[in-house]
Structure 1
Amino acid sequence: MSKIEKVLFTGKTHTTFSDATRAHGNLDIELSSPGNAKPAHVFAATQAHPTAEQLFAGAWSACYISAIEHIAKAKKVVLPADVSVDIEVDLGQTGQAYFLQARFFVRLPGVAHDVATALAHAAHELCPYSKATLGNIDVAVNVLTA
Protein backbone atom coordinates (compact mmCIF):
# COMPACT_ATOMS: atom_id res chain seq x y z
CA MET A 1 0.00 0.00 0.00
CA SER A 2 1.17 3.47 -0.82
CA LYS A 3 0.91 6.27 1.69
CA ILE A 4 -0.89 9.43 0.65
CA GLU A 5 1.47 12.39 0.49
CA LYS A 6 -1.18 15.03 -0.23
CA VAL A 7 -4.85 14.85 0.79
CA LEU A 8 -7.01 16.43 -1.92
CA PHE A 9 -10.45 15.96 -0.36
CA THR A 10 -12.06 14.29 2.64
CA GLY A 11 -15.59 12.88 2.59
CA LYS A 12 -17.11 12.57 6.06
CA THR A 13 -20.19 10.75 7.35
CA HIS A 14 -21.84 10.33 10.73
CA THR A 15 -23.99 7.21 10.98
CA THR A 16 -26.40 6.26 13.75
CA PHE A 17 -29.41 4.05 14.09
CA SER A 18 -32.63 5.68 12.85
CA ASP A 19 -33.37 7.94 15.82
CA ALA A 20 -30.92 10.69 14.74
CA THR A 21 -31.99 14.29 14.45
CA ARG A 22 -32.09 16.07 11.11
CA ALA A 23 -30.11 19.11 10.03
CA HIS A 24 -31.49 21.78 7.70
CA GLY A 25 -29.70 22.33 4.40
CA ASN A 26 -27.95 18.99 4.37
CA LEU A 27 -28.75 15.62 2.90
CA ASP A 28 -30.24 13.06 5.27
CA ILE A 29 -30.34 9.53 3.91
CA GLU A 30 -32.27 6.68 5.48
CA LEU A 31 -31.30 3.14 4.50
CA SER A 32 -33.20 -0.04 5.22
CA SER A 33 -31.84 -3.54 5.56
CA PRO A 34 -32.84 -6.25 3.07
CA GLY A 35 -36.32 -7.50 3.95
CA ASN A 36 -37.00 -4.57 6.29
CA ALA A 37 -38.82 -1.50 4.97
CA LYS A 38 -38.22 0.47 8.19
CA PRO A 39 -35.11 2.68 8.05
CA ALA A 40 -32.25 0.98 9.84
CA HIS A 41 -29.59 3.67 9.40
CA VAL A 42 -29.60 7.42 9.06
CA PHE A 43 -26.92 9.70 7.61
CA ALA A 44 -27.70 13.11 9.03
CA ALA A 45 -26.14 16.40 7.98
CA THR A 46 -24.39 15.23 4.81
CA GLN A 47 -23.63 18.04 2.39
CA ALA A 48 -26.35 18.75 -0.16
CA HIS A 49 -24.23 17.47 -3.07
CA PRO A 50 -22.34 14.49 -1.70
CA THR A 51 -19.06 13.45 -3.27
CA ALA A 52 -18.05 9.94 -4.21
CA GLU A 53 -15.93 9.81 -1.05
CA GLN A 54 -18.95 10.77 1.11
CA LEU A 55 -21.20 8.24 -0.60
CA PHE A 56 -18.58 5.52 -0.20
CA ALA A 57 -18.07 6.43 3.46
CA GLY A 58 -21.84 6.46 3.97
CA ALA A 59 -22.41 3.06 2.44
CA TRP A 60 -19.41 1.64 4.29
CA SER A 61 -20.56 3.08 7.62
CA ALA A 62 -24.09 1.67 7.20
CA CYS A 63 -22.67 -1.78 6.53
CA TYR A 64 -20.14 -1.46 9.34
CA ILE A 65 -22.61 -0.28 12.01
CA SER A 66 -24.89 -3.18 11.02
CA ALA A 67 -21.95 -5.54 11.48
CA ILE A 68 -21.32 -4.12 14.96
CA GLU A 69 -24.98 -4.66 15.84
CA HIS A 70 -24.95 -8.22 14.47
CA ILE A 71 -21.81 -9.18 16.38
CA ALA A 72 -23.03 -7.51 19.59
CA LYS A 73 -26.27 -9.53 19.45
CA ALA A 74 -24.34 -12.75 18.86
CA LYS A 75 -22.07 -12.00 21.84
CA LYS A 76 -25.00 -10.80 23.96
CA VAL A 77 -23.50 -7.32 24.33
CA VAL A 78 -26.09 -4.60 24.90
CA LEU A 79 -25.30 -1.59 22.73
CA PRO A 80 -26.05 1.91 24.00
CA ALA A 81 -28.78 3.91 22.25
CA ASP A 82 -26.24 6.49 21.06
CA VAL A 83 -23.95 4.19 19.07
CA SER A 84 -22.39 6.03 16.15
CA VAL A 85 -19.77 5.56 13.48
CA ASP A 86 -17.97 8.46 11.83
CA ILE A 87 -15.92 7.63 8.77
CA GLU A 88 -13.59 9.98 6.95
CA VAL A 89 -12.45 8.87 3.50
CA ASP A 90 -9.55 10.83 2.01
CA LEU A 91 -8.85 11.10 -1.68
CA GLY A 92 -5.15 11.76 -1.95
CA GLN A 93 -2.17 11.74 -4.19
CA THR A 94 1.35 10.39 -4.09
CA GLY A 95 3.29 11.54 -7.12
CA GLN A 96 0.90 11.19 -10.05
CA ALA A 97 -1.06 8.30 -8.47
CA TYR A 98 -4.38 8.68 -6.61
CA PHE A 99 -5.30 6.71 -3.49
CA LEU A 100 -7.92 6.44 -0.76
CA GLN A 101 -7.48 6.10 2.98
CA ALA A 102 -10.01 5.98 5.80
CA ARG A 103 -10.39 6.80 9.48
CA PHE A 104 -13.11 5.26 11.65
CA PHE A 105 -14.38 6.76 14.88
CA VAL A 106 -16.54 4.14 16.57
CA ARG A 107 -18.52 5.48 19.54
CA LEU A 108 -19.85 2.92 22.00
CA PRO A 109 -20.46 4.97 25.18
CA GLY A 110 -20.58 2.94 28.36
CA VAL A 111 -19.23 -0.26 26.79
CA ALA A 112 -16.00 -1.57 28.31
CA HIS A 113 -13.12 -0.44 26.09
CA ASP A 114 -11.79 -3.95 25.47
CA VAL A 115 -15.28 -5.18 24.51
CA ALA A 116 -15.87 -2.14 22.26
CA THR A 117 -12.49 -2.64 20.59
CA ALA A 118 -13.23 -6.32 19.98
CA LEU A 119 -16.62 -5.41 18.44
CA ALA A 120 -15.02 -2.75 16.21
CA HIS A 121 -12.38 -5.14 14.89
CA ALA A 122 -14.79 -8.05 14.46
CA ALA A 123 -17.09 -5.77 12.44
CA HIS A 124 -14.30 -5.32 9.89
CA GLU A 125 -14.14 -9.09 9.49
CA LEU A 126 -17.89 -9.24 8.77
CA CYS A 127 -18.53 -6.04 6.75
CA PRO A 128 -18.17 -6.61 2.96
CA TYR A 129 -16.87 -3.05 2.44
CA SER A 130 -14.11 -3.67 4.99
CA LYS A 131 -13.28 -6.96 3.31
CA ALA A 132 -13.13 -5.28 -0.11
CA THR A 133 -10.71 -2.62 1.10
CA LEU A 134 -8.54 -4.90 3.28
CA GLY A 135 -4.95 -4.53 2.16
CA ASN A 136 -5.93 -2.01 -0.50
CA ILE A 137 -6.20 1.20 1.53
CA ASP A 138 -4.95 2.37 4.91
CA VAL A 139 -7.70 2.22 7.55
CA ALA A 140 -7.29 3.58 11.09
CA VAL A 141 -9.84 2.60 13.73
CA ASN A 142 -10.45 4.74 16.82
CA VAL A 143 -12.76 3.34 19.49
CA LEU A 144 -14.35 5.81 21.93
CA THR A 145 -16.24 4.59 24.98
CA ALA A 146 -16.57 7.71 27.11
Structure 2
Amino acid sequence: MNVLYTAEALSTGAGRNGNVRTSDGRLDLGLAMPPALGGSGDGTNPEQLFAAGYAACFHSALQLIARQEKADITDSAVGARVGIGPNDDGGFELTVTLEVTLPNVPRDQALALTEKAHQVCPYSNATRGNIEVALEVAED
Protein backbone atom coordinates (compact mmCIF):
# COMPACT_ATOMS: atom_id res chain seq x y z
CA MET A 1 0.00 0.00 0.00
CA ASN A 2 1.18 3.51 -0.80
CA VAL A 3 0.62 5.34 2.52
CA LEU A 4 -0.68 8.86 1.88
CA TYR A 5 -1.01 9.98 5.51
CA THR A 6 -0.19 8.61 8.95
CA ALA A 7 -1.91 9.77 12.14
CA GLU A 8 -0.06 9.44 15.43
CA ALA A 9 -1.55 9.39 18.92
CA LEU A 10 -0.18 8.55 22.34
CA SER A 11 -2.10 7.19 25.31
CA THR A 12 -0.72 8.04 28.75
CA GLY A 13 -1.91 7.61 32.30
CA ALA A 14 -4.31 4.77 33.05
CA GLY A 15 -5.50 3.79 29.56
CA ARG A 16 -9.27 4.25 29.54
CA ASN A 17 -8.90 6.61 32.52
CA GLY A 18 -5.88 8.46 31.16
CA ASN A 19 -5.20 10.86 28.31
CA VAL A 20 -4.80 10.67 24.54
CA ARG A 21 -2.95 13.22 22.46
CA THR A 22 -2.10 13.40 18.78
CA SER A 23 1.44 14.22 17.72
CA ASP A 24 0.30 17.57 16.30
CA GLY A 25 -1.58 18.47 19.50
CA ARG A 26 -4.90 19.05 17.71
CA LEU A 27 -6.50 16.34 19.82
CA ASP A 28 -5.71 16.24 23.53
CA LEU A 29 -8.40 14.57 25.60
CA GLY A 30 -8.91 13.22 29.06
CA LEU A 31 -10.48 9.77 29.05
CA ALA A 32 -12.88 8.15 31.48
CA MET A 33 -14.69 4.85 31.51
CA PRO A 34 -18.42 5.30 30.87
CA PRO A 35 -20.75 4.62 33.80
CA ALA A 36 -22.08 1.50 32.01
CA LEU A 37 -18.58 0.02 32.37
CA GLY A 38 -18.14 1.13 35.97
CA GLY A 39 -16.45 4.46 35.34
CA SER A 40 -17.20 8.09 36.15
CA GLY A 41 -18.07 9.15 32.60
CA ASP A 42 -16.16 12.40 33.23
CA GLY A 43 -14.27 12.20 29.94
CA THR A 44 -14.60 10.75 26.49
CA ASN A 45 -13.86 7.10 25.78
CA PRO A 46 -12.36 5.05 22.95
CA GLU A 47 -15.79 3.94 21.69
CA GLN A 48 -16.90 7.55 21.25
CA LEU A 49 -13.69 8.35 19.40
CA PHE A 50 -14.13 5.31 17.16
CA ALA A 51 -17.77 6.25 16.49
CA ALA A 52 -16.78 9.81 15.54
CA GLY A 53 -13.99 8.62 13.25
CA TYR A 54 -16.11 5.95 11.57
CA ALA A 55 -19.05 8.34 11.02
CA ALA A 56 -16.81 10.99 9.43
CA CYS A 57 -14.89 8.49 7.30
CA PHE A 58 -18.06 6.74 6.09
CA HIS A 59 -19.65 10.12 5.27
CA SER A 60 -16.62 11.00 3.14
CA ALA A 61 -16.85 7.64 1.33
CA LEU A 62 -20.55 8.29 0.74
CA GLN A 63 -19.76 11.73 -0.70
CA LEU A 64 -17.18 10.19 -3.04
CA ILE A 65 -19.65 7.63 -4.35
CA ALA A 66 -22.39 10.26 -4.67
CA ARG A 67 -20.10 12.50 -6.75
CA GLN A 68 -19.23 9.59 -9.02
CA GLU A 69 -22.93 8.81 -9.51
CA LYS A 70 -24.02 12.47 -9.61
CA ALA A 71 -26.43 11.94 -6.70
CA ASP A 72 -27.67 14.90 -4.66
CA ILE A 73 -26.71 14.17 -1.07
CA THR A 74 -27.26 17.70 0.20
CA ASP A 75 -28.16 17.63 3.92
CA SER A 76 -26.86 14.08 4.27
CA ALA A 77 -25.69 12.75 7.63
CA VAL A 78 -24.04 9.63 9.00
CA GLY A 79 -24.34 8.60 12.62
CA ALA A 80 -22.38 5.79 14.22
CA ARG A 81 -23.21 3.77 17.32
CA VAL A 82 -20.37 1.68 18.73
CA GLY A 83 -21.20 -0.94 21.32
CA ILE A 84 -18.77 -2.86 23.50
CA GLY A 85 -19.38 -6.05 25.39
CA PRO A 86 -17.78 -9.28 26.53
CA ASN A 87 -17.10 -12.06 24.06
CA ASP A 88 -17.06 -15.81 24.68
CA ASP A 89 -13.27 -15.91 25.03
CA GLY A 90 -13.00 -13.71 28.14
CA GLY A 91 -12.22 -10.55 26.19
CA PHE A 92 -14.33 -7.80 24.71
CA GLU A 93 -15.56 -6.97 21.23
CA LEU A 94 -17.27 -4.15 19.39
CA THR A 95 -20.36 -3.78 17.25
CA VAL A 96 -21.15 -0.85 14.97
CA THR A 97 -24.37 0.52 13.54
CA LEU A 98 -24.10 3.19 10.86
CA GLU A 99 -27.21 5.32 10.34
CA VAL A 100 -27.29 7.06 6.96
CA THR A 101 -29.68 9.92 6.14
CA LEU A 102 -30.03 10.96 2.50
CA PRO A 103 -33.14 13.18 2.33
CA ASN A 104 -32.82 14.08 -1.38
CA VAL A 105 -32.27 10.56 -2.70
CA PRO A 106 -34.92 7.89 -3.41
CA ARG A 107 -34.70 4.99 -0.93
CA ASP A 108 -33.48 2.40 -3.46
CA GLN A 109 -30.67 4.69 -4.55
CA ALA A 110 -29.85 5.59 -0.93
CA LEU A 111 -29.47 1.89 -0.11
CA ALA A 112 -27.22 1.35 -3.14
CA LEU A 113 -25.05 4.37 -2.35
CA THR A 114 -24.70 3.21 1.27
CA GLU A 115 -23.63 -0.30 0.21
CA LYS A 116 -21.09 1.12 -2.25
CA ALA A 117 -19.70 3.48 0.40
CA HIS A 118 -19.32 0.48 2.71
CA GLN A 119 -17.03 -1.13 0.11
CA VAL A 120 -14.89 2.03 -0.21
CA CYS A 121 -14.64 3.31 3.40
CA PRO A 122 -11.28 2.46 5.04
CA TYR A 123 -12.98 1.88 8.41
CA SER A 124 -15.42 -0.56 6.80
CA ASN A 125 -12.56 -2.33 5.06
CA ALA A 126 -10.60 -2.54 8.34
CA THR A 127 -13.53 -3.93 10.32
CA ARG A 128 -15.01 -6.26 7.68
CA GLY A 129 -14.96 -9.82 8.97
CA ASN A 130 -13.77 -8.66 12.40
CA ILE A 131 -16.82 -7.03 13.96
CA GLU A 132 -20.50 -6.79 13.16
CA VAL A 133 -21.33 -3.62 11.21
CA ALA A 134 -25.01 -2.93 10.51
CA LEU A 135 -26.07 -0.38 7.91
CA GLU A 136 -29.33 1.51 8.41
CA VAL A 137 -30.75 3.97 5.89
CA ALA A 138 -33.36 6.40 7.20
CA GLU A 139 -36.80 6.28 5.60
CA ASP A 140 -37.74 9.20 3.32
TM over 0.5: yes
1:105 aligns to what? 99
1:49 corresponds, among 43, 51, 59, to 43
Question: Which one-letter code corresponds to 1:104 in the other structure?
Answer: L
Name the SS for the 1:111 alignment partner: coil
Q: How many Å separate the matches in 1 of 2:91 and 2:116?
A: 31
1:67 equivalenced with 2:61 (yes/no): yes
Residue 68 of structure 1: CA displacement? Answer: 0.5
TM-score by length of 2: 0.66
Answering whether residue 88 of structure 2 is matched by residue 88 of structure 1, we say no
129-138 or 96-105, which deviates more: 96-105
> Distance in 1 between the 2:82 and 2:107 partners?
24
User: Per residue, is there more helix in 1 or in 2?
Assistant: 2
Alpha-carbon distance between aligned partners in 1 of 2:96 and 2:117, rounded to the nearest angstrom: 15
Q: Which runs of 5+ in 2 are unaligned?
A: 1-40
**Identity score, percent:** 39
- CA deviations over 1:104-138 (Å, ceiling 9, x no partner): 11011131111101111111111111100000000
Contact persistence 2:84–2:92 (CA under 8 A): yes
What is the letter of the counterpart of residue 49 of structure 1? G
Distance 2:120 2:80 in 1: 17
**What displacement does 1:94 show?**
2.5
Aligned with residue 112 of structure 2, among 109, 118, 128? 118
Could you tell me which of 76, 95, 99 is aligned with 2:70?
Answer: 76
More strand by share: 1
The higher-RCO structure (CA 8 Å, 6+ apart) is 1
- Counterpart in the other structure of 1:130: 124
Aligned residues between the structures: 99
Q: Aligned equivalents of 1:55 and 1:48: distance in 2? A: 15
Question: What is the alpha-carbon root mean square deviation over aligned residues?
Answer: 1.5
